[in-house]
């Protein structure tokens, strides 16, 4: 079915999965506020939120398998959108599943916490669908406002309040850059539609247009903050450490996936003709993010901060795919994003399992000899660390994911060989901190008097187990995900231009 987006009813149908999640979230918000805060109520709302996510996943898969597309308009109806939606929905499912048990331990009683995850995910789905810069802005704001609140959800924690305030202030500042960039691009091209902008940049030869150049640069700053790319990353370690751990996992995976998907779509559809303006800044962003993330992570002794800098490093790896500006780079990007989401989410789930009330037990010393008291958690964390590092058997993120990124970089029309070398060398550096976590768990004795981590709840164990299975399956049989990634890349700009011409 081809949606005519100029028809309001068909535009509404094209937004079907997004509207289902938004409508369900609003109903659950009323239910969450209707009764006094309690553990039983937050778990009941969480269970309903999980059921809503499953229904939305089913609806999204139905749209994806029906081969739906659309005319040129405000939103995209393509496999890239559905792929991004599924990654974000799975991240939301994991965050709520972990949060239902984590909130009991940390005495976070408001049931609205789960609903805010749904609203943030709604913003991510809008971002994945956006083919207009104003829709991009609306999606970012819907996502960000909910995340600002979620980061400061633990009102008993000074670190949580500090992280939330930093994220809000810097996020608002970065949004100003993004909005001003949108205004300048609109002023130069007379449109906010990505496809129309791409066509007018080529037809009007806007490559050296001052307003277009400044607008492109401001967009890059705004997106750089949202994906935590160095040097726009300074908020990430404090926010990741202070936020409730399920929300940290959600931010490190789903939020990054949605922001990167929009970044890539804008690059491929609106600004391919501005490649000379984007290429060098993105090249340097990728190189700096890989270097800063991996080198600073070496000195971290707090697991949440270590994973925060690891996330910054993986931002650099994903920027290599953006810098390539090719469809092969887009396919590598999607494959890497799936693998990274599984490994990173699983690692944060183990952090929750090892932790205690007050978000304690997050230091490396708390993991010493974990193999002797909680061998299952130690093995799971070992799988995730080896996957993030790049050991071939343990998931596609390190070996297959980086291999496809390297191939995309080497085959790109612009010179990316040096960036590929940086990717390889910084990946070697990452072994210093990933293997150190494994060494501490398996090769150091358990300190005398160390508290044995309590047995995690069923939902938390389920998330850890699912992540381990997903990582191992992706490492052993990556071909299906590779085929899915290649089928889900955004349509080439030439196809978009042909649609505009027609």
For 442-456, write each residue's pLDDT tens digit: 998 888 877 888 888
For position 124, what pLDDT does the model report? 94
For residues 63-88, average pLDDT: 84
Joined tokens for residue 411? 């085959």
Q: pLDDT band at 474, cuts 50/70/90? A: confident
CA 150 – CA 423 distance, rounded (Å): 33
SS3 355: coil
Q: pLDDT band at 121, cuts 50/70/90? A: very high
SS3 75: strand
Which is nearest to 134 in space by CA: 221, 204, 78, 75?
A: 75
For position 270, what pLDDT does the model report? 83
Q: pLDDT band at 479, cuts 50/70/90? A: low
SS3 230: coil
The mean pLDDT value of the chain amounts to: 85
Q: What is the pTM of this model?
A: 0.90
CA 314 – CA 385 distance, rounded (Å): 13
3-state secondary structure 270-318: HCHHHHHHHHHHHHHHHHHHHHHHHHHHCCCCEHHHHHHHHHHHHHHHH
Q: pLDDT band at 110, cuts 50/70/90? A: confident
Q: pLDDT band at 492, cuts 50/70/90? A: very low
pLDDT at 402 over 80: no
CA 117 – CA 139 distance, rounded (Å): 14
For residues 278-297, average pLDDT: 89
pLDDT at 126 over 50: yes
pLDDT at 39 over 60: yes
Strand partners, 132: 193
3-state secondary structure 413-477: CCCCHHHHHHHHHHHHHHHHHHHHHHHHHHHCCCCCCCCCCCCCCHHHHHHHHHHHHHHHHHHHC
CA 487 – CA 473 distance, rounded (Å): 20
Contact 118, 32 (CB under 8 A): no
Q: Quick one: 363 exposed, middle or buried, by C-beta within 10 A (0-12, 13-18, 19+)?
A: middle
Q: pLDDT band at 497, cuts 50/70/90? A: very low
Contact 121, 84 (CB under 8 A): no
Q: At what angle do helices 303-324 and 327-354 cross, to 10 degrees?
A: 170
> Torsion angle of alpha carbons 47, 53, 55, 57, nearest 10°?
-150
For 137-190, write each residue's pLDDT tens digit: 999 999 999 999 999 888 888 888 888 888 898 888 888 999 999 999 999 888
């Amino acid at each position: 079915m081809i949606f005519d987006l100029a028809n309001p009813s068909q535009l509404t149908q094209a937004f079907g999965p997004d509207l289902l999640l938004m409508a369900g979230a609003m109903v659950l918000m009323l239910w969450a506020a209707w009764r006094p805060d309690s553990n039983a109520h937050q778990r009941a709302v969480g269970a309903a939120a999980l059921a809503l996510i499953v229904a939305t996943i089913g609806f999204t898969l139905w749209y994806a398998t029906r081969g739906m597309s659309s005319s040129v308009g405000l939103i995209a109806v393509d496999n890239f959108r559905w792929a991004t939606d599924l990654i974000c929905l799975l991240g939301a499912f994991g965050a709520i599943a972990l949060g239902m048990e984590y909130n009991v331990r940390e005495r976070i009683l408001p049931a609205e916490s789960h609903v805010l995850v749904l609203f943030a995910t709604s913003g991510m789905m809008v971002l994945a669908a956006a083919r207009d810069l104003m829709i991009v802005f609306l999606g970012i704001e819907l996502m960000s406002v909910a995340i600002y609140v979620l980061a400061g959800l633990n009102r008993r924690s000074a670190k949580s309040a500090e992280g939330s305030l930093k994220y809000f202030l810097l996020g608002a500042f970065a949004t100003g850059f993004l909005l001003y960039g949108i205004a300048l691009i609109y002023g130069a091209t007379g449109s906010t539609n990505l496809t129309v902008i791409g066509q007018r940049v080529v037809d009007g030869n806007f490559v050296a247009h001052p307003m277009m150049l400044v607008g492109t640069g401001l967009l890059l700053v705004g997106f750089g903050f949202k994906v935590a790319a160095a040097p726009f990353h300074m908020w990430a370690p404090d926010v990741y450490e202070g936020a409730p751990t399920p929300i940290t996992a959600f931010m490190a995976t789903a939020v990054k996936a949605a922001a990167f998907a929009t970044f890539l779509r804008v690059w491929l559809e609106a600004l391919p003709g501005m490649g000379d303006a984007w290429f060098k800044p993105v090249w340097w962003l990728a190189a700096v993010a890989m270097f800063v993330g991996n080198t600073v992570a070496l000195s971290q002794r707090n697991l949440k901060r270590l994973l925060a800098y690891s996330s910054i490093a993986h931002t650099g790896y994903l920027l290599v795919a953006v810098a390539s500006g090719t469809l092969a780079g887009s396919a590598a990007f999607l494959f890497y994003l799936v693998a990274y989401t599984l490994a990173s989410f699983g690692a944060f789930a183990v952090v929750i399992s090892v932790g205690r009330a007050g978000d304690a037990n997050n230091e490396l010393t708390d993991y010493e000899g974990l193999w002797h008291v909680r061998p299952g958690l130690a093995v799971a964390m070992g799988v995730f660390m080896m996957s993030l590092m790049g050991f071939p058997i343990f998931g596609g993120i390190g070996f297959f994911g980086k291999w496809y990124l390297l191939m995309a970089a080497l085959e790109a029309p612009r010179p990316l060989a040096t960036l590929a070398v940086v990717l390889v060398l910084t990946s070697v550096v990452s072994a210093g901190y990933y293997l150190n976590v494994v060494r501490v768990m398996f090769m150091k004795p358990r300190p005398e008097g160390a508290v044995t981590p309590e047995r995690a709840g069923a939902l938390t164990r389920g998330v850890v187990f699912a992540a381990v299975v997903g990582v191992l399956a992706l490492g052993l049989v990556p071909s299906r995900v590779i085929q899915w990634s290649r089928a889900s890349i955004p349509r080439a700009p030439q196809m978009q231009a042909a649609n505009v011409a027609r």
